[in-house]
Chains A and B, each alone.
Chain A
Amino acid sequence: MAETPLGVSIAATIAAILLLLGVLELVRRRRLREKYALLWIVTALVVLVLSVWRGAVTAIAGYLGVSYGPAVIFAVGAVFVLVVLLHYSTVISALTDRSVLLAQRIAILEQRIDALEESRRDRSPDA
């Protein structure tokens, strides 16, 4: 089983660190909520660990019968990205449900206000 080439390890480490810093910066600027940053941070950390700890990648690749070690890093990263995407789909669904409910409530309240104002106008014609 071939060792992961040093260049690949260095490149993957840099990418993971950039992702981690990018996510933390977005949280700091309040453009990303901690709740949604968590999965990204975990993803970056896992990729970082696999990039730095080269023996682990070699061991996992040997165990799975993967002939090209670095593919393990990308595969694990891809799985985490899929989890993040699925999580976002559930978040979007919840947001959609809420915006539908809000639109419905607004429509009902607006009608009720109109009806109340009309009945008030009828009662006091000079108002």
Chain B
Amino acid sequence: MPRCLAIIPAYNEAASVGDVVRAITAAQPDVGIVVVDDGSSDATAAVAAEAGAAVLRLPFNLGIGGAVQTGYKYAWDNGYDVAIQIDADGQHPPVEMAKVLAPVLSGEADMVIGTRFRGVGDFKSSKARRVGIELFARLVSLIIRERVTDTTSGFRAVNRKGIALFESDYPQDYPEVETQALAHRHGLRLLEVPVEMEERQAGVSSIRAWGSVYYVVKVTLALLIGLFRAPRPLPEEGGH
């Protein structure tokens, strides 16, 4: 039985992170849970620990990329075979975890992205956001020469190969779009599976309106530079 870890990045999510941890335990009792507290000023860490998760407390706010990567480093250090990323705000229902995990566990794919746009559930979003998501989906599809529909989903699972990659190299600012291109570049087999998502229970999207221009420019630049960037060396089993 492969050991599986749920990575939950959380920044000031005390209102929802406890329920998310308990829901994961209920849906997948064998899955380890680590909450990465990204320098929260509220009780996120205490609530997560109380709910039974291992908690990694970052000494200051690193942003979503740095926080998630901390989870992958923890997964690598502790010998987990599979890692699955879940948002702390409750928009990824733990009952849907099995769908995202299945292709990784069966060996069908190295990285699986749970997507909102493949026919399941009804996902409502602002016009501008849909246009942005579509734009990046096309750009990434072009780069990896494979049709992807949702590059912004943070509901994703990887096997040990993916853990090794993300442990050593993970985009820092707005990582979701870039990671798919990065994984493809390292020869990981990607797969999208349709999942249902909830409206976020609490908190706000890390992508705010005033920052959306910066977001689009930064991610596009990062994607294009990523095509030519020198790769980082990957860790070896047993080494550091």
The answer to whether residues A107 and B66 also contact, given A100-B172, A115-B54 and a CB cut-off of 8 A, is no
| A80 CB to nearest B CB, Å | 27
Q: Report the nearest B residue to A100, measured CB to CB.
A: B66
Give the distance in Å from the alpha carbon of A110 to the alpha carbon of B57 in the complex.
8
Q: Residue B193 at the A interface, CB < 8 A? A: no
Q: Which residues of B contact A104 (CB under 8 A)?
A: 58, 62, 66, 69-70, 73
Q: Residue B55 at the A interface, CB < 8 A? A: yes
Q: Report the nearest A residue to B60, measured CB to CB.
A: A103
A residues near B, CB below 8 A? 100, 103-108, 110-111, 115
Beyond contacts A100-B62, A100-B172, A103-B66: 8 other A-B pairs, Cβ-Cβ < 8 A, are A103-B59, A103-B70, A104-B66, A104-B69, A107-B58, A108-B73, A108-B77, A110-B57
Q: Residue B15 at the A interface, CB < 8 A? A: no
Give the A-B contact count at a CB cut-off of 8 A.
Answer: 37
Q: Residue B56 at the A interface, CB < 8 A? A: yes
Give the distance in Å from the alpha carbon of A108 to the alpha carbon of B56 in the complex.
6
Give the distance in Å from the alpha carbon of A53 to the alpha carbon of B55 in the complex.
65
Interface contact A107-B59, CB-CB below 8 Å: yes
Q: Which residues of B contact A105 (CB under 8 A)?
A: 73
| B120 CB to nearest A CB, Å | 35
A-B contact pairs, 22 of them (CB 8 A): A100-B66, A100-B172, A103-B59, A103-B60, A103-B62, A103-B70, A104-B58, A104-B66, A104-B70, A104-B73, A106-B58, A106-B59, A107-B36, A107-B59, A107-B70, A108-B56, A108-B73, A108-B74, A108-B77, A111-B54, A111-B57, A111-B74
Q: Which residues of B contact A111 (CB under 8 A)?
A: 54-57, 74
Give the distance in Å from the alpha carbon of A108 to the alpha carbon of B55 in the complex.
9
Q: Report the nearest B residue to A104, measured CB to CB.
A: B70
Which residues of chain B (44-62) have a CB below 8 Å from chain A? 54-60, 62
The 10 closest A-B pairs by CB, nearest first: A107-B56, A104-B70, A107-B58, A100-B66, A111-B56, A103-B58, A103-B59, A108-B74, A107-B70, A107-B57
Give the distance in Å from the alpha carbon of A104 to the alpha carbon of B74 in the complex.
9
| B138 CB to nearest A CB, Å | 30
Q: Which residues of A contact B54 (CB under 8 A)?
A: 111, 115
Q: Which residues of A contact B73 (CB under 8 A)?
A: 104-105, 108
Give the distance in Å from the alpha carbon of A18 to the alpha carbon of B60 in the complex.
40
Give the distance in Å from the alpha carbon of A91 to the alpha carbon of B58 in the complex.
23
Q: Which residues of A contact B77 (CB under 8 A)?
A: 108
Give the distance in Å from the alpha carbon of A105 to the alpha carbon of B57 in the complex.
10
Give the distance in Å from the alpha carbon of A110 to the alpha carbon of B59 in the complex.
10
| A69 CB to nearest B CB, Å | 40
| A67 CB to nearest B CB, Å | 39
Give the distance in Å from the alpha carbon of A104 to the alpha carbon of B57 in the complex.
9
Give the distance in Å from the alpha carbon of A32 to the alpha carbon of B56 in the complex.
36
Q: Which residues of B contact A108 (CB under 8 A)?
A: 56, 70, 73-74, 77
Most chain B C-beta atoms within 10 Å of own C-beta, residue among A103, A106, A107, A111: A107
Give the distance in Å from the alpha carbon of A103 to the alpha carbon of B60 in the complex.
7
Most chain B C-beta atoms within 10 Å of own C-beta, residue among A105, A106, A111, A115: A111
Q: Report the nearest A residue to B61, measured CB to CB.
A: A103
Q: Which residues of B contact A106 (CB under 8 A)?
A: 58-59
Q: Which residues of A contact B172 (CB under 8 A)?
A: 100
